[in-house]
């Protein structure tokens, strides 16, 4: 109860059946507050705290990290959404 809390949550959000509006969000959370976030719509990291701004700058300066995060829309989000849609929505 008196320790530190760290987590990382990723989300894929879309509303169209063809996934053309798919957004990938990668949140880094410390003590229940998002301190840094990657949003595929923005295309880079955004820091929300002093530490988050520092890390966002470091991550944004590394083209390998940015390329990897940007690729998650197709590699992670769309691929899994297609599987879920085929398993659930298309069965009705």
pLDDT tens-digit profile, the chain (92 residues): 678 889 999 999 999 888 999 999 999 999 889 999 999 999 999 999 999 999 999 999 999 999 999 999 999 999 988 888 878 775 65
Can you give the residue ranges of every domain in the chain?
Answer: 6-84
Q: Is the pTM of the predicted complex or chain greater than 0.75?
A: yes
**C-alpha separations of 14 from 8, 23, 73, 82 in Å:** 20, 6, 11, 12
Tell me the CATH number for domain 6-84. 3.10.320.10
Give long-range contacts, CB 8 A cutoff, 24+ apart: 18-26.
19/77, 19/78, 19/81, 19/82, 22/73, 22/77, 22/78, 22/81, 23/73, 23/77, 24/69, 24/72, 24/73, 24/76, 24/77, 26/69, 26/72
């Amino acid at each position: 109860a008196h320790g530190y809390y760290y987590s990382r949550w990723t989300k894929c959000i879309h509303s169209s059946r063809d996934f053309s509006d798919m957004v990938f969000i990668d949140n880094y959370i410390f003590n229940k507050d998002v301190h840094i976030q990657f949003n595929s719509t923005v295309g880079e990291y955004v820091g929300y705290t002093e530490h988050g701004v520092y890390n966002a700058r470091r991550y944004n300066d590394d083209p390998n990290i940015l390329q990897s995060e940007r690729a998650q829309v197709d590699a992670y989000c769309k691929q899994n959404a297609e599987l879920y849609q085929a398993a659930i929505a298309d069965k009705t």
